[in-house]
A and B are shown apart, each in its own frame.
Chain A
């Protein structure tokens, strides 16, 4: 599988580590969230057949975190964004 890195261009998936569902970006505020909410954040994942957003880490490259949108049915990589751009677009400071 080739991941088209937004800064570096096409790179082999072997350079990356996959960290799972991109919903990990939306961690609830641990000081205020209900335990139910924290439980769901830590343990409950969707398992879609089709388009899926995942966090990938370019460990053997520029060490950037990416949000990769890909199809679990065809392995097509549909979209690749820097995770920090995604987080900033949601109002996070960095």
Chain B
């Protein structure tokens, strides 16, 4: 039998759009691993993150950054690590460094990440996002609904955001974001 070799394809085919000086780029290089805090294990997890990366446990509505590794607070006892990682073993890599101080789940395939940036970003997003994005500090984050799709936003710069949404409705999400940019540019 012939050898079968498969190559992973980006969910949105590596989408990359340029709209009047604004950019929408699919970040296919990022792995996403959620870390849940064991009951009563906050201190051990905080220490492990600080020793290994070093990363602070982000406060609610915030994310913390160490090099290219970002920890995003998603729930009272949960955060997500988002970082560039080429192989499909992100969860094992994170768990090994945590040494059992957190419950990890690989979420890479569940999400798509859009990197949006440019001067019209805030006015494009305010049309579809109920969060008060202009009031976010850099590193601020929130989870909400955009065009009926669950989504997360992380402010990475004055005019730049990471937008996360479900990979199962990725094309619709990209369409919503792109359409909103077209309305304002």
Interface-facing stretch out of A26-34, A36-44, A59-67, A71-79: A59-67
Does chain A have a CB within 8 A of B15?
Answer: no
In the complex, which of the residues A9, A14, A64 contacts B76, with contact meaning CB atoms closer than 8 Å?
A64
A-contact 0/1 string along B136-179, CB 8 Å cutoff: 00000011110000100000000000000000000000000000
Q: Are A12 and B130 in contact (CB under 8 A)?
A: yes
Q: How long is the Cα–Cα vector from A8 to B61 in the complex, in angstroms?
A: 6
B142 touches A8 (CB 8 A): yes
Does the CB pair B130–A63 fall under 8 Å? no
- Asked whether, in the complex, the Cβ of B39 is within 8 Å of the Cβ of A94, the reply is yes
Q: Is there contact, CB below 8 Å, between A7 and B60?
A: yes
Give min CB distance, A48 to chain B, whole Å. 29
Note all chain A residues with C-beta closer than 8 A to B75.
62-64
Give every chain A residue within 8 A of B145 (Cβ-Cβ).
14-15, 60
Q: Is the interface of B mostly helix, strand, loop or mixed?
A: strand
- In the bound complex, residues from chain A placing their C-beta under 8 Å from that of B63 are none
Query: For chains A and B in complex, what number of residue pairs have CB atoms within 8 angstroms?
Result: 33
A59 to chain B, nearest CB (A): 9
Chain A neighbourhood of B39, CB < 8 A: 94
Interface of chain A residues 45 through 88 with chain B (CB within 8 A): 60-64, 82, 84
Q: Is the CB of B130 within 8 A of A15?
A: yes
Contacts A61-B143, A94-B39; A7 near B150 (Cβ below 8 A): no
**A9–B74 CA distance with the chains assembled, in angstroms:** 14
Q: Which residues of B contact A15 (CB under 8 A)?
A: 130, 144-145
Which residues, 33 to 84 on B, are CB-close (under 8 Å) to A? 39, 60-61, 74-76
Give B residues with C-beta under 8 Å from A: 39, 60-61, 74-76, 130, 142-145, 150
List 25 interface pairs A-B (beta carbons < 8 Å), by A numbering: A7-B61, A7-B76, A8-B60, A8-B61, A8-B142, A9-B61, A11-B130, A12-B130, A15-B130, A15-B144, A15-B145, A60-B143, A60-B144, A60-B150, A62-B60, A62-B74, A62-B75, A62-B76, A62-B143, A63-B75, A64-B75, A64-B76, A82-B76, A84-B76, A94-B39
Interface residues of A, Cβ cutoff 8 Å to B: 7-9, 11-12, 14-15, 60-64, 82, 84, 94
